[in-house]
Structure 1
Amino acid sequence: MKTVSGPTDHVVVVGAGLSGLACALHLLGAGRRVTVVERDAGPGGRAGQIDLRGYRVDTGPTVLTMPHLADEAFAAVGDSLHSRVQLVALHPAYRAHFADGGSLDVHTDGAAMEEEVRRFAGPAQAAGYRRLRRWLEHIYRAQMRRFIDTNFDSPFQLLHPDLARLAALGGFGRLDRRIGHFLSDSRLRRIFSFQALYAGVAPARALAAYAVIAYMDTVAGVWFPRGGMHALPRAMAEAAADAGADMRWSAEVNELERSSGRVRAVRLATGERIPCDAVVLSCEMSTAHQLLGRSPRRPVRLRHAPSAVILHAGTDRTWPGLAHHTLSFGNAWERTFDELTRTGQLMSDPSLLITRSTTHDPTLAPPGRHLHYVLAPCPNTAVGPSAAAWRDLGPRYRDNLAAELERRGLEEFGASVQEELLVTPLDWTAQGHAAGSPFSVSHTFAQTGPFRPRNLVRGLDNVVLAGCGTTPGVGVPTVLISGKLAAARVTGGLPRRPLLAPPPSAARNVPASAVKGSHDPS
């Protein structure tokens, strides 16, 4: 594995999102002196939180899987995720509602999910689910250590027996076809293939290898941190500070001082100069490219994932059919993905993710109120409406979205809203997200593994990249890994860890029913 050259005693990490904080913790654990520089007033990056007149709103991801990857970063400095964050294991992980009126609870416990599939679709589909679950476990084992949790220096690193294992598992076929090999019910197939959207690719075109995301969602387990998802980066920042990191808030970097192929110092907008031996850029990739003065040279332009419209709604009521996470599927499926990735149209029959964080933490809203997060995928600005067009389009789309939710059983949703925040590609663009997408570069074959933008910077001996735009990719688990991989480029080593997460225990993972103040109207 290639590493940065020369001294690495003092490392400046630019950006205090999940990848930057994970990187800082691993660097601190390896004995480096670390300064974290963040332009915002506190940690989080994409996983931020704002106070919307009494509603504490997570501005980024709402689904936490593979928390042992975060715990690994805490462990690097002798700390523990579970001593700082109370995690609630979600049962069910999701509830799925379909256009035909059917409903299915998605359990990560195998026996519970098999019984639910039997109830929903019969014994043949339950048997298919058993086979699918075993296949997902094999897919995960074949990929995680060799192709996800690794630094690539050359595509030739793919030439390993694990590649043959992945091929034998059908990992290079198409995702929807492979899922269909186990499940003939089209509704069930959606449960295990919608995750391809996280990777920015339609299930009909995504590699079956991307089922590793379905493994994380439907087998490994889903958790909720009390205090919201922002509790995770907040705890990571506190652990880093306690381990000796110099945390600089409201500090924007506007220049990298270079000489002889190395960055010698980071200069802030205030004029302050911070000397360093190495730099990790975990900020937005567009910001990193501006600081570097160039973008990576590639034979084909980077393609970005679809974007999303998010409606944060603080309401005076909730609806008993909702779980913590609810997937509301429209009748359309393939057409929806064509609209998102090819024709650039808004979804004519949308599939939505609805998260009700107050299900397990009522303190996120004023007493007697509820907080709902509605995510509607939409085309990015490279294939769909421009960022500027969303200035007028956004309010109309918000009203259409509220009307659609009411048609799907959330009666009087619009009238129940007390406070709201609408986020569209216009806002994502203003935050520096290329193509107006918070999901960064899509995971086409040409943008995955060794073909994804590398985390080493050509022409600079001591600069490393971290975050969802570089290896290994998009999503909370992979971003945490990205921070660890960036640290390894500096320190020269990766810790060996168990391939699979340790089993949950009552002392570490709190069941939903045991959380004081939790309430689930469902």
Structure 2
Amino acid sequence: MKVAIIGAGIGGLVCAVSLALEGHEVEVFEKEAGPGGKARRIAVSGTEIDAGPTVFTMRDVFDDVFAHAGERLEDHVILTKAEVLARHAWNDSEHLDLFADQQRSENAIGQFAGAKAAAEFRSFSQTAARAYAVLEDSFMRASKPSTPLALSWRIGLGRLSDQLAIRPFSSLWNVLGRHFSDPRLQQLFGRYATYCGSSPFEAPGTLSLVAHLEQRGVWLIDGGIHALAKALQALGEKHGVRYHFQASVDAILTHAAHGTPALSLANGERIGCDKIVANCDPNALARGCFGPKASKSVAPTPERERSLSALVWLAEAQTSGFALTHHNVMFSPDYIDEFQDIAEGKPPADPSIYICALDRDAGSGVELATGRERLQIIVNAPANGDTHEYSAEEKDQCTRAMMRSAQRCGLRLEDPLPHHLLTPNAFETLSPSTGGAIYGRASHGWAASFRRQAARTKIPWLYCAGGATHPGAGVPMAALSGLQAARSLMEDRASTPRFHPAATAGGMSMQSAKTASTP
């Protein structure tokens, strides 16, 4: 069977490997110059800087992908387990580290906010671990449940206490308010809603499980998540996957004569196949980015249900003051105002900021040796990249607001800051028809998970993968979506009688220098 995959993001790369290992002929078509999708690197003044996801969890998902191919992940990328999960700050005197060692985190919280807070953290950690245990196999690693009842069946109708433990009907903010009496800790753990592009005031309490996901382990990859993407590409090539870069797909078609699917490329080529996997935001399909046929395959995402976008500064600069580790978060003084600004369609005036100090490890060390360092700095923003053009003046205002937040917490950034700024406009260009929403549909309300696109679409030969599909956003979730797409495709093939007219056996691919596999 010949499968065409649109997009070489993490979901598409994992799907390609999985299908190739089952003996299928797989070709991947990517409009960018290399693999990774959002896990890309951008050159800023000649220096390559990670411009996508930086947090790597659920390592076992990728261990399994490589093990299935008879390989070891650690033979393809250099991994280091983080000692410090993240360093947090509210001002220049209130700093808190969370550690891979949960007891160290508990002790640190006790020193930061008192014995009561340490006990509250211990209780919260147990709740988060339980939520993760309930949903890991029933939801995250399984096909999308069609209804709440279907999920209840998987969990077990007799396990009512487990179903209530995931807190689907309370907001994460309210759940955290019942756990933590210190508002700083409520804000710290509320940030986990932004991991899937959502507001802690609207996301369900279920997202408390992200705290346990990190507690299970955060790893640093030498070369960043982009290095993982390149390792997956190499693994696919070893097993026969062909990759075509700078090969933009204009349309998904059906062959008029015999109804088999095909891709129409921007260079005029037509690629015949048996199945197609779209590793993109499903809204791109729904809004006609791949032609009228594909627009009928999935439901569109309403603008009001888009996830967050972001302002992302990529810089190589000198820093001083605050002792950066690899992952750092500096909180705004008023979280409610911050998310209200975003809800009103404007960047926050006084934002929280995340800083990935790419050249620092995640140990207890506090100082970089000397010189300049690479930084990725993120501020949450509305997904309005298709309706609002960020002017030079507005970009400068956002930069000034970000630098004020850093300075409030004791971090002095080189001023003027040499940087490249990605706005929601840039993310809309990367993922059309999303407004720059980085995480697909927002996880707002108890029913959000059931509205997320599944691997199967309304067209029997077209499947979806990627962080905007089930089970959701994030590097491991995107990988799980790729596995789900491959599994669904193979299950459907096994249960459907096969008939291929002799004229189309082997497909219709016509190779050219422009779409030939990139070495």
Residue aligned with 1:267, SS: strand
Cα contact 1:387–1:429 (8 A) shared by 2? no
Aligned to 2:491: 492
Q: Which residue of 2 aligns with 1:465?
A: 464
1:262 CA displacement: 5.2
Matched residue, 1:84: 76
Question: 1:132/1:403 Cα in 2 relative to 1: closer, same or farther (>3 Å)?
Answer: closer
The 1-side partners of 2:301 and 2:241 are apart by 39
| Amino acid paired to 2:372 | R
Secondary structure (helix, strand or coil) at the match of 1:314 reads strand
**Partner Cα separation in structure 2 for residue 302 and residue 70 of structure 1:** 34
Q: Which residue of 1 aligns with 2:268?
A: 271
Which runs of no fewer than 5 residues in structure 1 stay unpaired? 1-8, 494-522
Distance 1:472 1:169 in 2: 19
Distance 1:440 1:322, change over 3 A: same
- Specify which of 217, 221, 227 is matched with residue 225 of structure 1: 221
Matched, 1:258 2:254: yes
Is residue 402–residue 413 contact of structure 1 (8 Å, CA) maintained in 2?
A: no
Q: Give the Cα separation in 2 of the matches to 1:97 and 1:371.
A: 20
Could you give the per-residue CA deviations for residues 180-217 of structure 1, whole angstroms, max 9, x where no partner exists? 33321111222222111233332232211111222223
Match of 1:171 in 2: 167
Query: Where does residue 280 of structure 2 map in the other structure?
Result: 283
Displacement of 1:387 after TM fit? Answer: 2.8
What CA distance in whole angstroms lies between the structure 1 residues aligned with 2:361 and 2:410?
22
The answer as to whether partners of 2:310 and 2:378 remain within 8 angstroms in 1 is: yes
For residues 144-223 of structure 1, the aligned pairs below 5 Å read 144-152=136-144, 154-155=146-147, 156-160=149-153, 162=155, 164-169=160-165, 171-172=167-168, 173-217=170-214, 219-223=215-219
Tell me what 1:55 maps to.
Answer: 47
Among the aligned pairs, what percent are the same residue?
26
Partner Cα distance (2:300, 2:375) in 1 = 41
> Following TM superposition, by how much is the alpha carbon of 1:457 offset from its aligned partner in structure 2, in angstroms?
2.0
Aligned in 2, Cα 1:190/1:161: closer, same or farther, shift over 3 Å? same
Q: CA 1:41 to 1:366, structure 2 compared with 1: closer, same or farther past 3 Å?
A: farther
Equivalent position of 1:370 in the other structure: 373
Name the amino acid aligned to 1:411: R
Alpha-carbon distance in 1 for matches of 2:404, 2:204: 35
Q: Structure 1 residues 102, 146: CA separation in 2 closer, same or farther (over 3 Å shift)?
A: same
Question: Are the aligned partners of 1:455 and 1:465 in contact in 2 as well (CA < 8 Å)?
Answer: yes
- Quote the offset at 1:139 in angstroms: 0.5
In structure 2, what is the Cα distance between the partners aligned to 1:450 and 1:263?
Answer: 30
CA distance in 2, matches of 1:446, 1:29: 37
Structure 1 residues 50, 170: closer, same or farther in 2, change over 3 A? closer
- Matched with 2:122 is 130
Give the 5 Å matches for 1:250-399: 250-259=246-255, 263-289=260-286, 290-293=289-292, 294=295, 296-297=298-299, 303-340=305-342, 342-360=343-361, 368-381=371-384, 386-399=387-400
- CA distance in 1 between counterparts of 2:250 and 2:485 reads 21
| 8 Å contact from structure 1 (residues 308, 424) kept in 2 | yes
Structure 2 residue 473 is the aligned partner of structure 1 residue 483: no
2:193 partner amino acid: A
Cα drift, residue 319 of structure 1: 4.4
* Distance in 2, Cα, partners of 1:47 & 1:225: 12
Mean CA deviation greater in 292-301 or 156-165? 292-301
Q: 1:40 maps to what in 2?
A: 32
Structure 1, residues 39-69: CA drift from partner, whole Å, max 9, x if none? 1111011001122234221111111111221
Q: Distance in 2 between matches of 1:367 and 1:321?
A: 13
- The one-letter amino acid of 2:384's match is T
Q: How does 1:78-117 map to 2 (within 5 A)?
A: 78-99=70-91, 101-117=93-109
CA contact (8 A) 1:25 1:74 kept: no
Asked if residue 246 in structure 1 is aligned to residue 247 in structure 2, the reply is: no
The structural deviation recorded for 1:275 is 2.1
Distance in structure 2 (CA, Å) of the matches to 1:299 and 1:140:
27
Alpha-carbon offset, residue 403 of structure 1: 3.9
Answer whether contact 1:28 1:76 (CA < 8 A) is retained.
Answer: no
Cα distance in 2 for partners of 1:20, 1:174 equals 32
- Aligned length in residues: 475
Structure 2 stretches of 5 or more lacking a match? 363-367, 493-519
8 Å contact 2:81–2:217 — kept in the other structure?
A: yes
Shift of 1:165: 4.2
Aligned AA for 2:199?
A
Going from structure 1 to structure 2, the CA distance change for 1:328 and 1:264 (only over 3 Å counts) comes to same
C-alpha distance in 2 between matches for 1:171 and 1:377: 25
Counterparts of 1:336 and 1:323, CA distance in 2:
25
1:286 Cα shift?
Answer: 4.3
User: Which SS does the other structure have where 2:323 is aligned?
Assistant: coil
Residues of 1 paired with 2:322 and 2:311: CA distance?
24
Once the two structures are superposed, residues 230-250 of structure 1 have per-residue CA deviations (whole angstroms, 9 ceiling, x without a partner) of: 111011111111111111122
**SS of structure 1 residue aligned to 2:371:** coil
Offset of residue 130 of structure 1:
1.5
1:390/1:425 contact within 8 Å kept: no
Amino acid of the structure 2 residue aligned with 1:374: I
